[in-house]
Amino acid sequence: MVSQRIGRDAGGKRKFLAIIDDTPECRLAASYAARRAKASSGGVVLLYVIQPGDFQHWLGVEKIMRAEAEEEAQSKLGKVAEDLRTAIGIEPELVVREGETPGEIAALIEADREIAILVLAAGESSEGPGPLVSSVAGRGSAFPIPVTIVPATLTEEDIQTLV
């Protein structure tokens, strides 16, 4: 069970969490989350998860690979954050974690009690909507907070009219 969320009545602000990865649809989720956050005087958190299986090497090589992965994560988060600042005028919180994505999402939700909504974007691939969206669809309790799934077919203009 997830800990009680800190609502606006208790001095908190509702935060929207979007996951940044290598998929093109992650920017759509970030845009939707940021626009919803701004419209509701909330905040947006962008999470990038570094997969742990990438570092099974000698210690020296492992350190270099970890540093490179961290640098790449910060770069990707920075680009999305800059887009959100420019287009929407909101300053996102940036978080990098290492581990399995679903577990790290759940851990961040537990750690930050202001995170109230997870925003994911479905992919357009013939292979399905993407692993995170599939995990939510496959088990209704995959995450302990409401999940908003943004269709990949939406445009920025569509998102503006929905928020």
Is position 118 within any domain? no
pLDDT of 48 over the 90 cut = yes
Q: Which domain holds residue 131?
A: 8-113+125-157
SS (HEC) of the chain: CCCCCCCHHHCCCCEEEEEECCCCCHHHHHHHHHHHHHHCCCEEEEEEEECHHHHCCCHHHHHHHHHHHHHHHHHHHHHHHHHHHHHHCCCCEEEEEECCHHHHHHHHHHHCCCEEEEEEECCCCCCCCCHHHHHHHHCCCCCCCCEEEECCCCCHHHHHHHC
pLDDT of 141 over the 60 cut = no
pTM above 0.75, yes or no: yes
pLDDT of 62 over the 80 cut = no
pLDDT of 53 over the 80 cut = no
Structure confidence at residue 26 as a pLDDT band (50, 70, 90): very high
Give me the pLDDT at residue 77, please: 97
Is position 1 within any domain? no
Q: Domain of 53: which CATH number? A: 3.40.50.620
pLDDT of 66 over the 60 cut = yes
Is position 101 within any domain? yes
3 vs 14, higher pLDDT: 14
Work out how many domains the chain is built from and give that number.
1
